[in-house]
Amino acid sequence: MQTAKLRCFQFGHLKQSLKIVLFSEGKNVSISRKAERDRRGTTPFEAMASALGGSIGTANIAGTASAIAIGGAGAVFYIWLAGVFGMALKLSEIVLALRYREKRNGEYSGGPMSYIERGIGNKKRFSAISRFAKPLAISYAAFTLLSSSFGTPLVQANTVARSASDLLLAFDLKISDIAVFAASGLVCAALTGIVVIGGAKRIGRISSLLVPFMALGYIAICSAVLFKFRANILPCLVRIFKEAFGFRQIGGGFCGLCVSKAMRVGISRGVYSNEAGVGSSAMAHASAQTDSSVRQGLYGIFEVFADTLVMCTLTALVVLSSGVNLPSDPSISGTSIALSAFSSVLGERAASVFLSVSLLLFAYTSIIGWSVYGLSSAKYLFGEKAKTPFCVIFTLLTALGAFVRVDIAWKCGEIFNYLMAAPNIFALLLLSKEVKKEIGFYE
């Protein structure tokens, strides 16, 4: 619906989005390099790196692999679908976040809480429902606080722990799972606490260094694996489309069941990966020093493209083209599936090292990215005094996440994302005219 209202803006401006991020075309020339370092806040690229770090996580590897195992190859099509239409949602979130952001203590802050409260709360436009704006904003902040505390740390830390366990097995090191999980949880918690306490600015700088490095490294290794299985790529793409619509199944009821499962798993994992419609990344972009909300929104379009249409697709093609066994048990770690796929080319030990390093970096940037969202929500609900308690609790929960069952961790993450998306998408639909107006000015 948002794509139709914005007249497919993301398709016509995808090329411009890529140029802005990759070649600095359209850079805000009013902000010099020196001014960028002197100002309080984040550059447009740092804001995007924080948001992209929050979305590029273990969902791109373990989440995609488990989605294929549970929903079949057809789930990949619905991951793409979530990404294609998610671009419009991400653009809208960022435009509204910058439109309604506020400057506090010399730094910009904003997000869905701000545009829900101040946008829908405009009595002249929404007199019938304006009284519900504040409660709706509070509910969004509460869901975000829960998601950032019990969703992301559990999923990301759990995947890192499972990957560390697989790595030790590959090297025939017999260490109890409890010891491995404890060590993984403590390492994740320590690395997280060091950065989170520094706030959004430090997170933006760390993310701007790590995100390009880890993304390019992962793309390079996946490309090497796919080169070996290049003959299988086209058949895999055909299989994705066939299974997405159940062409291979016999019987209407069974066909409907299979398509429904692929759609449900694919869309849920796609949304969990790129976070479009959830509204979380808008909080990172709200701190950007920029004079154009739509130009910053183009960074958001790139986020979804890189996260879903590039990273998730590469993982999916590696898993499918390698021909590894795909168990349907939801409690099976997607990390193990991905490990089998990469091992077919790299060897078990090299693949274990590669996946462990990749997952650690992906999880780390995702955890610190989501700490920005949780901290923004905590401040909205309880004021500035909430910063220290939130950082402590967030760090402790990151350590705890290593011990949670993998299927429970994913379920928690997906449920909290749905709860966040409900009030956010409602606000996007009501405020879509304002987004169109901003786009009109930009064009």
Per-residue tokens: 262: 């692929």
Per-residue tokens: 181: 């999980």
For residue 194, give the H/E element and its range.
helix 177-196
For the chain, which residues make up each domain, given as ranges? 43-431
Mean pLDDT of 188-210: 72
Lowest mean pLDDT, pick from 74-88, 197-211, 280-294, 358-372: 197-211
Lowest mean pLDDT, pick from 43-52, 228-237, 414-423: 43-52
Q: How confident is the model at residue 330 (pLDDT cuts 50, 70, 90)?
A: low
Q: Residue 202 pLDDT more than 70?
A: no
Per-residue tokens: 358: 């990749």
Q: Is the distance from CB of 158 to CB of 336 less than 8 angstroms? A: no
Q: Half-sphere exposure of 124 toward its Cβ, with a 13 Å CA cutoff? A: 1
Mean pLDDT of 349-378: 81
- Convert the pLDDT of each residue in 275-291 to its tens digit: 777 888 888 888 888 88
Q: How far apart are CA 61 and CA 341, in angstroms?
A: 11
Q: Supply φ then ψ for residue 328, to 5 degrees.
A: -95, 0
Q: Residue 234 pLDDT more than 90?
A: yes
Q: How confident is the model at residue 361 (pLDDT cuts 50, 70, 90)?
A: confident
- Convert the pLDDT of each residue in 365-385 to its tens digit: 778 778 888 888 888 888 888
Q: Is the distance from CB of 312 to CB of 64 less than 8 angstroms? A: yes
Tell me how far CA of residue 133 lies from CA of 101, 108, 128, 137, 142, in angstroms. 16, 21, 11, 6, 14
Give whichever of 70-74, 407-411, 422-426, 439-443 has the largest mean pLDDT.
422-426
Q: What is the DSSP string of 279-337?
A: --HHHHHTTB--S-HHHHHHHHHHHHIIIIIIIIHHHHHHHHHHT------TTS-HHHH
Mean pLDDT of 19-28: 64
Q: How confident is the model at residue 211 (pLDDT cuts 50, 70, 90)?
A: confident
Q: Which residue has the higher pLDDT, 115 or 181?
A: 115
Question: Could you tell me where the beta strands, DSSP code E, fall in 31-106?
Answer: 102-104
Burial 406-442 (b: 16+ CB within 10 A, else e): beebbbbbbbbbebbbebbbbbbebbbebbeebbeee
- Convert the pLDDT of each residue in 91-150 to its tens digit: 999 999 999 888 776 677 788 999 998 888 876 777 778 888 899 999 999 999 888 887
Q: Which residue has the higher pLDDT, 215 or 25?
A: 215
Q: Which residue has the higher pLDDT, 67 or 234?
A: 234
Q: How far apart are CA 331 and CA 322, in angstroms?
A: 22
Q: Which of 295, 221, 217 is nearest to 56 (CA)?
A: 217
Q: How confident is the model at residue 257 (pLDDT cuts 50, 70, 90)?
A: very low
Q: Residue 210 pLDDT more than 80?
A: no
- Convert the pLDDT of each residue in 1-17 to its tens digit: 666 777 778 777 888 88
Q: How confident is the model at residue 159 (pLDDT cuts 50, 70, 90)?
A: confident
Mean pLDDT of 317-340: 77
What pLDDT was estimated at residue 38?
44
The Cα angle at residue 431 between residues 427 and 437, in degrees rounded to 5: 155
Q: Supply φ then ψ for residue 288, to 5 degrees.
A: -70, 140
DSSP state letter for 151: I
CB atoms within 10 A of CB 348: 17
Q: Which residue has the higher pLDDT, 38 or 379?
A: 379
Q: Residue 33 pLDDT more than 60?
A: no
Lowest mean pLDDT, pick from 240-254, 266-280, 393-407: 240-254
What pLDDT was estimated at residue 227?
92
Measured over the CA atoms of residue 123, residue 279, residue 7 and residue 292, the dihedral's sign is: positive
Burial status of residue 214 (CB atoms within 10 A of its CB: 0-12, 13-18, 19 or more) = buried
Q: Which residue has the higher pLDDT, 261 or 307?
A: 307
Q: Which of 352, 290, 338, 332 is nearest to 20 (CA)?
A: 290
Q: Which of 215, 198, 203 is nearest to 21 (CA)?
A: 215
First to last CA, the chain: 21
Q: Residue 344 pLDDT more than 80?
A: yes
What pLDDT was estimated at residue 375?
84
Q: How confident is the model at residue 204 (pLDDT cuts 50, 70, 90)?
A: low
Q: Which residue has the higher pLDDT, 235 or 335?
A: 235
Q: Residue 251 pLDDT more than 50?
A: no
Q: How far apart are CA 142 and CA 377, in angstroms?
A: 7
Tell me how far CA of residue 430 lies from CA of 115, 234, 297, 310, 326, in angstroms. 11, 42, 18, 31, 42
Instruction: Calculate the dihedral angle through the C-alpha atoms of 232, 238, 243, 245, rounding to the nearest 10 degrees.
Output: 170
Range 321-324, long-range pairs (CB < 8 A, 24+ positions): 321/226, 321/229, 321/232, 321/233, 321/236, 322/225, 322/229, 322/232, 323/232
In the numeric block, the tokens 């070996």 are attached to: 228
Give whichever of 76-80, 175-179, 250-254, 329-333 has the largest mean pLDDT.
76-80
Give the whole-number percent of the chain exceeding pLDDT 90: 8
Q: Which residue has the higher pLDDT, 388 or 204?
A: 388
What pLDDT was estimated at residue 36?
45
Q: How far apart are CA 144 and CA 141, in angstroms?
A: 5
Could you tell me the pTM of the whole model? Answer: 0.80
CATH superfamily of 43-431: Amino acid/polyamine transporter I (1.20.1740.10)
CA 214 centroid distance within chain: 15
